[in-house]
Amino acid sequence: DVKVTQSSRYLVKRTGEKVFLECVQDMDHENMFWYRQDPGLGLRLIYFSYDVKMKEKGDIPEGYSVSREKKERFSLILESASTNQTSMYLCASSTQTGGNQPQHFGDGTRLSIL
Amino acid sequence: KQEVTQIPAALSVPEGENLVLNCSFTDSAIYNLQWFRQDPGKGLTSLLLIQSSQREQTSGRLNASLDKSSGRSTLYIAASQPGDSATYLCAAETSGSRLTFGEGTQLTVNP
C-alpha cells in the first residue's frame, strides 16, 4: 500500500513564525502536491512538484513556498505565518501514468496560527 | 477554469437504503474523474477512478459512472451501512495531473 506520511497531525504556531510542514511518500511517486482544506472552500491546490528540484504554483501560492530536495520528500513552508493560514493541510502523491492512477493522501496536519 | 459541483451538500438516509451522489464538472477535457472518501479529521481515501474513455467503475457496493459529454458523474452506494457515513468528494483530473475538487457530500447513514 502507498504510504504518505505527514510529520505532524496537529501544530500550533505564532504569527510571524516560519513554519515547516513535511511530507514523505514511500512509493517512488514522481508527483507530489500540497492542498489546504477550509469549510465552504473545499480543497485548494497550493503547490505541486513533478520531480526533484521542480515546483509549480497551484491556485493559492501566496504566502507559501516549497522544497523538494529528494524524490520522496516535499516540504511546505509558511514564510511568515498569519492567522488566515490556519487550516487543514493535506499532502498527496501520484505517479505519472497518463491518468489511470489516483492521488494518495496523507492524514493531514491541522495548523493553528495564534 | 474547471469547476466541480456536488449535490446534495448533505444527505441522511436509513441503513439499507441505496443512494446516489452527484458530481458535475464544467470542462469535459478531463483525464479522469476520481471519487474519494474523507472521515472527520482525516485525509482522503481513494474509492474509484474512472478514466475519460470509460463509462463506469465498480468496487464492492460502490459503482461510479461518467458521462463526459454532459459533464456528470454519479456515485451509487448499494445497501448503505452506518460505516459508510463520511464526506464523499469527487475530483476531475486535468492536464499536469492537477485535481479540481468539489466541496463534497456529507453522508450520514442512520442505524
pLDDT by 10s per residue, chain B, length 111: 899 999 999 999 999 999 999 999 999 999 999 999 999 989 999 999 999 999 999 999 999 999 999 999 999 999 999 999 999 999 999 877 889 999 999 999 999
pLDDT of residue A98: 64
Residue with cell 463520511: B86
Test A90 with B43 for CB contact under 8 angstroms.
yes
Percent of chain B with pLDDT over 90: 93
Cα–Cα distance between A77 and A85 in angstroms, integer?
Answer: 11
In angstroms, the separation between the Cα of residue B93 and the nearest Cα of chain A is: 8
To the nearest whole Å, the CA of B23 is away from the closest chain A CA by 14
* Record: contact B51-A100, CB cut-off 8 A: yes
pLDDT at A100: 81
Interface test with B, best of A41, A43, A101 (most B CBs within 10 A): A43
Residues of A within 8 A of B34 (CB-CB) are 102-103
Closest CA relative to residue A36, chosen from A98, A99, A94, A92: A92
Residue A75: count other Cβ atoms within 10 Å of its Cβ. 18
If you ran DSSP here, which 8-state letter would residue B98 be given? Answer: -
Q: Dihedrals φ, ψ of A61, to 5°?
A: -80, -10
Spatial neighbors of A103 by CB under 8 A, at least 6 apart, are A31, A33, A92, A93, A94, B34, B44, B46, B91, B97, B99
Residues of A in contact with B104 (CB under 8 A): 42
Distance of CA B36 to the CA centre of its chain: 6
- Looking at the partner chain, which of A43, A56, A99 has a beta carbon nearest the beta carbon of B93? A99
| B103/A42 Cβ within 8 A | yes
